[in-house]
Structure 1
Amino acid sequence: TQSEEPSENPTQSEEPSETPTQNNDVNPGSRTFAAIICDPKNASTWAALCAAIQADPAVFALLNDLSFNVNGEILPINIPPRLAINVGGRKLQGVGSGQRLTMFAPNNQAFEKFYQMPFNQLFNTKAPEVVSYFNNLDIDVVSDSAIVSADFFVSANGKRFLNELLLGHIIPRQRTDSHLVCQSLSSMQNGKFTMTTCDHNSNNDTNRKFQVGVKNTERNAPKIIQKDVAAINGIIHVVNNVIITELEVPSNAIQLDESFFSPPDVIAAP
């Protein structure tokens, strides 16, 4: 059966070659987030995530940035001329700054489950981008309960949502597993918050950790299934569900009094 654990140079069952450690200080890996995620050998784990980040040049640039501190020195390896990368009027933190990041990287199964969620549970179906997209397909998104698809996120209508979704998996600083404190909030790259929640064994020791957004429930809580995978520009934690934070309501959305999401539902540690 297919293993959930990724590998930097994997077979289905190997551990990452950028070997994770259990300490607070994880030695830097030799490759960027983007290089690890989009390594063809990792397609069985991250093909869907690779396709998503490649569809968003700003996110790909952030994850492929090489001007990061290594052993106290800035490493400028093949750095292209820096341009201000703006998303919704803000510069992406981390690009060219020497700042390490943390990414919760959903595996292929996570995206498969995400794309099966009812579309009208994730988005305001009256947002102009959504209306335009489904009108072009001659589909009534509300009555047909259309499901989320990769096609929407890479379409002209959906790219802003893809950007918000991906940035909701990135903390603009390095956080190893030991720094992810149960019941603590983290500010994500999209300006929203996620919470680290935990369950415990009979000795009240932390058994598993989850990184959840306000739209995640107990059924689709992103569990960390592989921790502290070292990249040159930070740390990767592999999760088995997509983190769903509140996406920004378009400024010209119709009926802004309608909730863009259903009420927050965040799982709590026992």
Structure 2
Amino acid sequence: MRSLAVTMVLVASSVVAHQASAEPSSKAKIADAKKSWCAPEVTELSDHVCYFDPGVRSEQGKHTLVIYLHGALAMTPGFFYLQQRAMALHAKKHAFTVLMPTGPSDGVGYVWPTSQKDQKEKEPAILAGIQKARRALETRVGHAFDETFVVGFSSGAYYGSSLALRGGLDVDGYMFLAGGSSWVQEPEGGTQRRRPIFVGVSAADPQTAGHSRALAGSLAHLNKARPWPFKVEERGAGHMVDWTFMSHGMAWLRAQSKHD
């Protein structure tokens, strides 16, 4: 966690220093760069969709894709950069390609839908967009992916856990950090395949810790009726994509995928 904070401070400091020393003739270029939705360290795939590909396989020799569902974002270009840069660092460390779509706009920012009404209205377009982006990314990087996981943070954890419980995405597993929807019910019949779920409880984040624990409780209850592989880990992390959660979560999800 400390290394992530230090890295982000250094990145921010270098950007400020560069801007302060820029020649007047370069101001227009800097202004144009600020308008880009994707940070310079990552690549734009399509409108409001970014990705980062370190070009390496996992220790198991697999091409791994992570679909990152972000936390709430302001509409200002550049606001998403911190999360994009952090996920690029995680992708390098854990050898995965990360796809970063953007949630729907509510007129103030970009958030993922959590109410039944919003999901009914917005989810078809969200899922179609993710599937389209997955296909486009495979074409861009030149290969398919052997395993795909969803990592949801904050707003993305609330929506992503709802998707997981309802079997909304064809993926190999999920990781939810700083948030979770425990009140969602499986479709009647409950015959969809139950994908592994890793829940990271940020104990130092009073806004989300209780929700993450409640999600873990729901999974334990569902597991009694029909096996649902899940793992819960609690740390004194704040409202962030914690480095240890990412390390432990990716290792655990890959282990489940290995035995799939």
TM-score, normalising length from structure 2? 0.29
Q: Which is bigger in relative contact order (C-alpha 8 A, separation at least 6)? A: 1
More helix by percentage: 2
